[in-house]
Amino acid sequence: MYREALAAIVHKWQKRGDIRPEAKPANVAKVMLSFFLGHIVQSAMIGDIDPETAAKGFVGIVSSQLAPRR
């Protein structure tokens, strides 16, 4: 249910040009949901991460140039 809703949002972002067209919306949605759930659990258990910090960290990850796989 949540993944399907996120996949629909990802598809809209692809049409807008925010996400590469070759990305599979279902795969992106799975990662997004994992990120959201992890944030909720970490916030509940440790409480040391606010949404702004999490968003900045996520941007840092996705805007980085990944090293080629060997």
Confidence of residue 11 (pLDDT cuts 50, 70, 90): very high
Confidence (pTM) = 0.70
Which residues fall within 8 angstroms of residue 2, CB to CB, at 6 or more apart? 33
**Residue bearing the bigger pLDDT, 7 or 60:** 7
How far is it, in rounded angstroms, from Cα 66 to Cα 30?
A: 20
Contacts of 29 (CB under 8 A, 6+ apart): 3, 4, 6, 7, 9, 10
What residue segments make up the domains of the chain, in order of their start? 2-46
pLDDT band at residue 67 under the 50/70/90 scheme? low
Q: How far apart are CA 17 and CA 13, in angstroms?
A: 6
Work out the angle at residue 31's Cα, subtended by the Cα atoms of residues 27 and 50, and round it to the nearest 5 degrees: 155
